[in-house]
Structure 1
Amino acid sequence: MNVVITAGGTGGHVYPALALAEEFCRQAAATSVTLVGTGCALERTMISGTPWRMEPLRVQGVVGRGIWSSIKALLLIPAAVWQCLRLLRASKAELVVGTGGYTSPPVVFAAWLLRIPRAIVELNAIPGIANRVLGALADRIFVSFERAVPYFRAHKVAVVGTPLRRSFAAPPPDPGSGRIDTLLICGGSQGARAMNSIVLEAVQTSSRIRSRLEVIHQSGSNDFDRVAEAYRHMNVKAEVVPFVEDMPGTLRRADLVICRCGALTLSEIAACAKPSILIPFPQATHHHQESNARVVEEAGAGIVLLEPELTGAKLAQEIEGLLDDPDRVRRMAEQSLRLRNTGSAEAMVYECYRLLGQSPPERTMTNGV
């Protein structure tokens, strides 16, 4: 089978695409997978060491930009569609899967023009504009949250969760005593300067955090020097990295995660059964990060703090409250485990075989541990 998967822009799109590529090739070694992205340095870092190539597409985001940037992005679309038509013909694509983001529309639209079967993946509780539009062209729509179902035609939708790489399939660590020794700060694959500042203020505010906790902080490349220097100045035992390459291993080291709320991040945390303090990105389209986070909070696995009203002192208070309540931390970890779903990629591949009218492979993974 020849499969084309969009994988552009951020970890929230690239890693689900890699998870699907892994699963397609696991089910049938002869499967040929082509990834389509933007060609940026972050994508190259993420796919390094994998057997798949990334075809760069000259396209930009339209939503949430200035008027002239949006116009420029719109003007790029016809050429991008033409490029995709050539790519799909050259790769003899039999299936196209769009994982969201601004690389998906030209690829999925080109597949529609060529009558190639199409599936899209919507990871967030509130779908983005690109996937809302593409829903009309897709033959199958995979969503992570029940809350996303009403935005699409119900007969096309399958609620399967977020596709995770097989490195997350290992059994999660035991919640243990609920003691917090290691704190992981993760602002998404590109970092989050505002969240970094709040965390640094919290660490500065609390002598207990500074003296008791080891910190692992994914800062993003643009904020690395500032964050690393701040920890050195405070004499805190901290491991600061621009980007976490081994997220499964890093999550297993952590006892508490403070993070943004992309669907992929939340699914990876659940796969490792970790409690979390969730700080949604306030400018996320349709506030989808807050909607994602509320699902985790309602399950009892996380605490949601909204950035516009959050201070370092408030965050320090929340962290210290958890330091004083290991039973609550353990319960949060147990509830996080209940959200764990490492069989999503397999479920999607199974449905894709059915979409193509082929005999699907046997399901081997479960929805839980």
Structure 2
Amino acid sequence: MTIIIAAGGTGGHLYPAVALAREFLRRDPTIRIQFVGTARGIETKVLAHEGFELRLISAKPVMGTGVLGIAKGLAAMPVSLWQCVRMVLKEKADLIVGVGGYTSPMMVVAAAMAGVPRVILEPNANPGMANKAIGWAANRVFLAFESAATSFNRARIRVVGTPVRREFLDHVKEAQLTPRTAGRRHVLIFGGSQGAKAINTAVLEGLSKLAMDNPSLTITHQTGQPDHARVQQAYRGVGIAAEVVPFLYDMPAAIGAADLVVSRSGAMTIAELTTCGKPAVLIPLPTAIYGHQMNNAQVMEAAGGAVVLPQSELTGDKLAATVTSLLKDENRLREMGTASLALRRTDAAEMIVRECYSLMGDRHDDHQSHGATGV
């Protein structure tokens, strides 16, 4: 059996797809998984590390690119559609999965043209334009949030949560067995898969204050490649033991080791934080289309698992003060972690895989004895 997954551009689109691919393989190791993306996306780097094959198409972004970018994106659609149709037919695909972003629409349309079962995943509280535009062509629409349901045909919707890699659950179990060193706190800072200059700058502005107020603090800071040298240089001589890296491949270990996380609030980040039950300071990306990152962050804040700092109000002093106040309040950190954990969904990938097999028909399921088990 062959499954084609169209996902890429950012980690928020790619990592739910990786989690889903691993669940398909856990159920049936003989399945062939083919990822589809573009040369400009993060998938060219991540999928090789994850051990999956990547095929490239000519799709280009449309939203948020200006008039010229929109024209280029629209012009690329016929070419990428033809590439997708050829791939679906050549690979004799049994299922197509689209995970939003500009990579997936043409692949889902190609599947509809070929009569191949197709599904889409929407991890955000406010759906992206790509999934909204292509919802009509999907046999199933898997949502992370009930609030996204109004954008799709109700009969095709399943609210299941966001697929999360099983490694996160392993680190949760490991953390439960490993006692924390008294008085020491570790903070993870990251701005999504590509980093966030605004977060990096605020951290650096508040770094001296953080070091003064938290002498035992250690930090892991993922900067993004363009800002790595600047941030790394700033940490030298400040007095904080820090690991400063451009990209984190082992996010399960990084989140699992943190007492507090400072980050953007993409849907994948929220799912990973809540899976691990981590308290967070969330700084939503203000330019995210339809404000979906703010919506995601507010869901977690309303539950008590996070503090939201809008980027428009972000300063080094404010960020340092917020982080310090949380680190020094053991009870609040514990309560936030409990609230975060209460939001988690660990069975999303299993539920999606079961539904996909139902769409394809029992004749495709030769390994039902490998079926998912509860965690």
TM class by shorter chain equals over 0.9
Deviation at 1:233, TM superposition (A): 4.2
RMSD of the alignment, in Å?
1.9
After alignment, is 30-39 or 124-133 more displaced? 30-39
After alignment, is 353-362 or 34-43 more displaced? 353-362
Rounded to whole Å, the distance in 2 between the matches of 1:325 and 1:179 is 12
Match of 1:222, SS state, is coil
Aligned: 1:328 with 2:332:
yes
Deviation at 1:179, TM superposition (A): 6.1
Deviation at 1:236, TM superposition (A): 2.3
Q: Show the counterpart of 1:218.
A: 222
Give the 5 Å matches for 1:183-222.
183-209=187-213, 211-222=215-226
The answer to whether the 8 A contact 1:179-1:326 is kept is no
Rounded to whole Å, the distance in 2 between the matches of 1:36 and 1:103 is 7
The answer to whether the 8 A contact 1:302-1:332 is kept is yes
After alignment, is 12-21 or 101-110 more displaced? 12-21
Q: Show the counterpart of 2:45.
A: 45
Q: Show the counterpart of 2:97.
A: 97
Equivalent position amino acid for 1:181 in 2? R
Deviation at 1:165, TM superposition (A): 1.6
Rounded to whole Å, the distance in 1 between the matches of 2:185 and 2:325 is 14
The answer to whether the 8 A contact 2:169-2:276 is kept is no
Aligned: 1:231 with 2:235:
yes
Deviation at 1:39, TM superposition (A): 2.9
Rounded to whole Å, the distance in 2 between the matches of 1:323 and 1:169 is 24
Gaps of 5+ in 1: none
Q: Show the counterpart of 2:253.
A: 249
Deviation at 1:210, TM superposition (A): 5.8
The answer to whether the 8 A contact 2:99-2:121 is kept is yes
The answer to whether the 8 A contact 1:176-1:330 is kept is no
Q: Show the counterpart of 2:341.
A: 337
Q: Show the counterpart of 2:146.
A: 146
Equivalent position amino acid for 1:156 in 2? R
Rounded to whole Å, the distance in 2 between the matches of 1:143 and 1:152 is 10
Q: Show the counterpart of 2:5.
A: 5
Rounded to whole Å, the distance in 2 between the matches of 1:247 and 1:335 is 21
Aligned: 1:25 with 2:29:
no
Rounded to whole Å, the distance in 2 between the matches of 1:176 and 1:149 is 41
Deviation at 1:269, TM superposition (A): 1.2
Rounded to whole Å, the distance in 1 between the matches of 2:276 and 2:215 is 26
Give the 5 Å matches for 1:57-68.
57-68=57-68
Match of 1:132, SS state, is helix
Aligned: 1:347 with 2:348:
no
Given the superposition, is the C-alpha separation of residues 50 and 198 from structure 1 closer, same or farther in structure 2, using an over 3 Å criterion? Answer: closer
Between the two proteins, what is the percent identity of the paired residues? 43
Rounded to whole Å, the distance in 2 between the matches of 1:322 and 1:149 is 35
Deviation at 1:364, TM superposition (A): 3.4
Match of 2:170, SS state, is coil
- One of 359, 372, 375 as aligned partner of 1:364: 372
Match of 2:163, SS state, is coil
CA deviation map 1:139-177 (0-9, x unaligned): 100010111111111111111111112212326134978
Deviation at 1:290, TM superposition (A): 0.5
Rounded to whole Å, the distance in 2 between the matches of 1:17 and 1:251 is 19
Match of 1:169, SS state, is helix
The answer to whether the 8 A contact 1:180-1:256 is kept is no
Given the superposition, is the C-alpha separation of residues 264 and 342 from structure 1 closer, same or farther in structure 2, using an over 3 Å criterion? Answer: same
Q: Show the counterpart of 1:160.
A: 160
After alignment, is 280-289 or 332-341 more displaced? 332-341
Given the superposition, is the C-alpha separation of residues 208 and 340 from structure 1 closer, same or farther in structure 2, using an over 3 Å criterion? Answer: farther
Deviation at 1:45, TM superposition (A): 2.5
Rounded to whole Å, the distance in 1 between the matches of 2:191 and 2:332 is 24
- One of 246, 264, 283 as aligned partner of 2:268: 264
CA deviation map 1:58-87 (0-9, x unaligned): 111100111111101110110000000111
Match of 1:281, SS state, is coil
Q: Show the counterpart of 2:133.
A: 133
Rounded to whole Å, the distance in 1 between the matches of 2:123 and 2:271 is 10
Q: Show the counterpart of 2:106.
A: 106
Rounded to whole Å, the distance in 1 between the matches of 2:168 and 2:259 is 17
The answer to whether the 8 A contact 2:10-2:41 is kept is no
Q: Show the counterpart of 2:297.
A: 293
- Scaled by the length of structure 2, what TM-score is found? 0.93
The answer to whether the 8 A contact 1:204-1:210 is kept is no
Equivalent position amino acid for 2:102 in 1? Y
Match of 2:52, SS state, is coil
Match of 2:158, SS state, is strand
Rounded to whole Å, the distance in 1 between the matches of 2:292 and 2:272 is 17
Given the superposition, is the C-alpha separation of residues 208 and 322 from structure 1 closer, same or farther in structure 2, using an over 3 Å criterion? Answer: farther
Deviation at 1:199, TM superposition (A): 1.5
Rounded to whole Å, the distance in 2 between the matches of 1:96 and 1:103 is 12
Match of 2:63, SS state, is coil
Q: Show the counterpart of 1:120.
A: 120
Rounded to whole Å, the distance in 2 between the matches of 1:327 and 1:208 is 22
Rounded to whole Å, the distance in 2 between the matches of 1:267 and 1:316 is 25
The answer to whether the 8 A contact 2:190-2:223 is kept is yes
Given the superposition, is the C-alpha separation of residues 42 and 129 from structure 1 closer, same or farther in structure 2, using an over 3 Å criterion? Answer: closer
Q: Show the counterpart of 1:310.
A: 314
Equivalent position amino acid for 2:266 in 1? G
Deviation at 1:51, TM superposition (A): 4.0
CA deviation map 1:223-243 (0-9, x unaligned): 000010111142321100000
Q: How many residues align?
A: 367
